[in-house]
Structure 1
Amino acid sequence: MIGVQRSMKGFKEFLLRGNVVDLAVAVVIGAAFTTVVNAFVTGVVNPLVGVFGTEDLAAYRSCLKGPCTVDASGAVTSGIYILWGSVLSALLQFVIVAAVVYFALILPMNHFMAKRRTVDEVAADAEVREVVLLTEIRDALVNQR
């Protein structure tokens, strides 16, 4: 019974530590951001690709084992398709997400951390100089007696 209580106490501490809440918020924000990226790819990237070919990247495919035929609804009736357009679309979405995360989050955070390190180093140097100065004052006072 004590082991169960200890486990539950540890689990409660884990939940209340904040890491789980931060992770949950990150997952929710990531899901919402994925929706934005998907809309961007569908609304901007796919039409740009449509200038050179089909409007939807998912329409790009190659017949692996044929003859490949598709019915009016777009369902494959015979053959095996490789849907490389879908893979290309997913890759573009990944690159867009990675770029936004890097330029909107990582770069500013690195810049902020560099400034913070500089401020912390200046404060540490000032503290060292203050200690040295106080030591010199103490020594001077001791020598005067």
Structure 2
Amino acid sequence: MIQGFKDFVFRGNIVDLAIAVVIGTAFAALVKAFTESFVSPLIALIGGGGPVGMSLEVDGQYFTFGAFITAIITFVLTAAVVYFAIMVPLKALQERRASGEEPEPEVVPEDIALLREIRDALKSR
């Protein structure tokens, strides 16, 4: 049982996963800082009503739908970057590996192929 756990931990996938979590956390902080610095003030400027913009007070309760819109924008930005920066290149790499990375055969023009056949026929005489 212990040996199975050691194999699981020291298999390369755990290390890759740990690296992905660290990079993902750093990237999420970057996107959060972008949305807090640029998107939230823009929403507040457009919508007005409080520090996050587009908020509504009813009986002392605040409904901050501007913060919700900011969270949606953060999610969409994060998903787009993960897709285009990680998933698309990874898919291309997997397709290249699946194909065996064989170079495409050189396309010989028809006239050159015919001349080679004539040459080979003359050599065989």
Instruction: Please indicate, yes or no, whether the TM-score normalized by the shorter chain is above 0.5.
Output: yes
Please indicate the TM-score interval, normalised by the length of the shorter structure.
0.5 to 0.7
Structure 1 residues 91-110: aligned runs within 5 Å: 91-110=72-91
Amino acid at match of 1:52: I
The answer on whether the counterparts of 1:61 and 1:82 sit within 8 Å (CA) in structure 2 is yes
Instruction: Give TM-score, length-normalised by structure 1.
Output: 0.58
Amino acid at match of 2:84: F
Alignment length, in residue pairs?
104
Structure 1 residues 1-145: aligned runs within 5 Å: 7-54=1-48, 58-63=52-57, 66-68=58-60, 80-118=61-99, 120=100, 122=102
Gaps in structure 1 of 5+ consecutive residues: 1-6, 69-79, 126-145
Of Structure 1 and Structure 2, the greater strand share is in 1
For 1:102 and 1:33, locate their aligned partners in 2 and report how far apart those are by CA, in whole Å.
13
Compared CA separation, residues 108 and 121, structure 1 to 2 (3 A): closer
Gaps in structure 2 of 5+ consecutive residues: 106-125
RMSD, aligned CA: 2.8
